[in-house]
Chain A
């Protein structure tokens, strides 16, 4: 079983739509969780941290459910510029463990 699992997508949505991604992790001892964004052929960039209490940054909301071991990312009012691959990341044993990513395509 992969340490971090994501639906690869792609998720095709129109501009203005709301879209949600989920991610599951296997290491119950994981301490911290993040969402990264990766554009094609580029390095990953930190989007936001994920907390049990929820974390909102503008149009983006992240949530952690420790009991079920999953993490979610909600994007409201999608923009064309949101098209990218979203990587779920957990920290285990002092290293970042990346999921394979979920691809989002926002169309006009």
Chain B
């Protein structure tokens, strides 16, 4: 149990386009989902925390109007990178926490590699 999927696994797009990444908890209800970004040879950095049915909480330095997060159901959260630019190229990983679970216990998706040309 506790499987998290992401789609797409890889995306290449032109500068200026928007890209949507989906994160799904397949066999449990995720009251909270987290979005991370990882640049090459750097650590995973938390971008935002989203709770089902409410607005996401963004970390300092992350533009909420550029990285739109929607967590409309207990099994799906989406991250939309609007007007993507080459500097947004990165590895985006989501994680999900079960309802009632500790915030330490996060189940990670396989990640989405975004390349903006």
Interface residues on B, range: 10 to 19
Q: Which of A43, A91, A94 counts the most chain B CB atoms within 10 A?
A: A43
Are the CB atoms of B43 and A43 closer together than 8 Å? no
Q: Which of A46-99 contact B (CB under 8 A)?
A: 87, 91, 94-99
Q: Count of A-B contacts with CB under 8 A?
A: 41
* Residues of chain A lying within 8 A (CB to CB) of residue B42: 100
Write the chain A residue with the least CB distance to B44.
A98
Instruction: Find out whether the CB atom of A96 lies under 8 angstroms from the CB atom of B108.
Output: no
Contacts of B44 in A (CB 8 A): 44, 87, 96, 98
> Chain B, 81-93, contact with A by CB distance < 8 Å: what is the 0/1 string?
0000000000101
Let me know if B104 and A44 touch, CB within 8 A.
no
The proximity string for B residues 101-117 relative to A, scoring 1 for CB distances below 8 Å and 0 otherwise, is 00110101111010000
Chain B residues whose CB sits within 8 angstroms of the CB of A100 once the complex forms: 41-43
Select A101's contact among B34, B43, B45, B113, beta carbons within 8 Å: B43
The count of residues in chain A whose C-beta lies closer than 8 Å to any C-beta of chain B is 19
Q: Smallest Cβ distance from B25 to chain A, in angstroms? A: 14
B19 interface hit (Cβ, 8 Å): no
Contact B43 A87, beta carbon cutoff 8 Å: yes
Q: Is the CB of A41 within 8 A of B43?
A: no
Residues of A with C-beta under 8 A to B34: 95-96
Q: Which residues, 65 to 99 on B, are CB-close (under 8 Å) to A?
A: 91, 93
